[in-house]
């Protein structure tokens, strides 16, 4: 099984209950193609969404998600890299996502070295790194943080000299969640 990520820009805002309902509605297609929903990260304004799945391969995910009615134009395979010792309960505290795009392939270790070098900047702004999603083509990355707000992350990333394309606050929706907000 590999990790697969689906990114969506939404024409109108969605709430977390609708995201959950749409995901669960696709379950028969997911089951057929052995796709397991891990979580979805919904922007606070409801207009961006990143869904994380595990599947046998990217093509199985593409077929199953398309059959479930999803736009799969921004689907990519990747790897997940968690902060050392990260617990599931701590991951649930994540609230800010940083998108990074690279013109040429980079190594995860090179970006991690930049992140480590900027640790003091993160700490100064009360920002805690939780996890990264790194694309198999090595040109795309999401980093999840726990922070007071998205602006704290923006300031910390800028001061640390990190490459950033977009930063947004999110709410996490996961299969076991029973407290989805509207």
Residue 85 lies in a domain: yes
> Given this model, what pLDDT does residue 63 score?
96
What's the CATH number where 168 sits?
A: 3.30.70.3090
**Of 117 and 167, more confident:** 167
Residue 128 lies in a domain: yes
- pLDDT-derived band at 177 (thresholds 50, 70, 90) equals low
Would you call 173 helix, strand, or coil by DSSP? strand
167-176 mean pLDDT: 93
Q: Quote the domain boundaries for residue 70.
A: 2-173
Find how far residue 66's CA is from the centre of its chain.
Answer: 20
The number of residues in the chain equals 182
What total of structural domains would you count in the chain?
1
> Given this model, what pLDDT does residue 176 score?
74
Would you list the DSSP string of 140-173?
EEEEEEE-S-HHHHHHHHHHHT---SEEEEEEEE
Residue 118 main-chain phi, psi, to 5 deg: -95, 15
Residue 28 lies in a domain: yes
> Given this model, what pLDDT does residue 88 score?
84
> Given this model, what pLDDT does residue 178 score?
44
Residue 181 lies in a domain: no
- pLDDT-derived band at 180 (thresholds 50, 70, 90) equals very low
């Amino acid at each position: 099984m590999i990790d697969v990520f689906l990114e969506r820009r939404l024409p109108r805002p969605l709430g977390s209950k609708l995201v959950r309902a749409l995901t669960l509605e696709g379950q028969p297609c997911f089951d057929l193609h052995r796709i397991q929903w891990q979580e979805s990260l919904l922007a606070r304004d409801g207009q961006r969404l990143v869904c994380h799945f595990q599947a046998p391969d990217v093509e199985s995910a593409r077929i199953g998600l398309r059959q479930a009615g999803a736009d799969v134009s921004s689907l990519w395979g990747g790897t997940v890299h968690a902060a050392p010792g990260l617990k599931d309960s701590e991951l649930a505290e994540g609230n800010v996502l940083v998108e990074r795009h690279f013109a040429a392939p980079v190594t995860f270790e090179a970006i991690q070295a930049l992140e480590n070098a900027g640790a003091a900047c993160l700490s100064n702004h009360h920002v805690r790194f939780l996890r990264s999603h790194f694309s198999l083509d090595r040109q795309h990355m999401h980093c999840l943080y726990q922070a007071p707000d998205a602006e704290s992350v923006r300031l910390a990333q800028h001061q640390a000299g990190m490459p950033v394309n977009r930063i947004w606050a999110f709410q996490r929706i996961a299969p076991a969640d029973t407290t989805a907000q509207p």
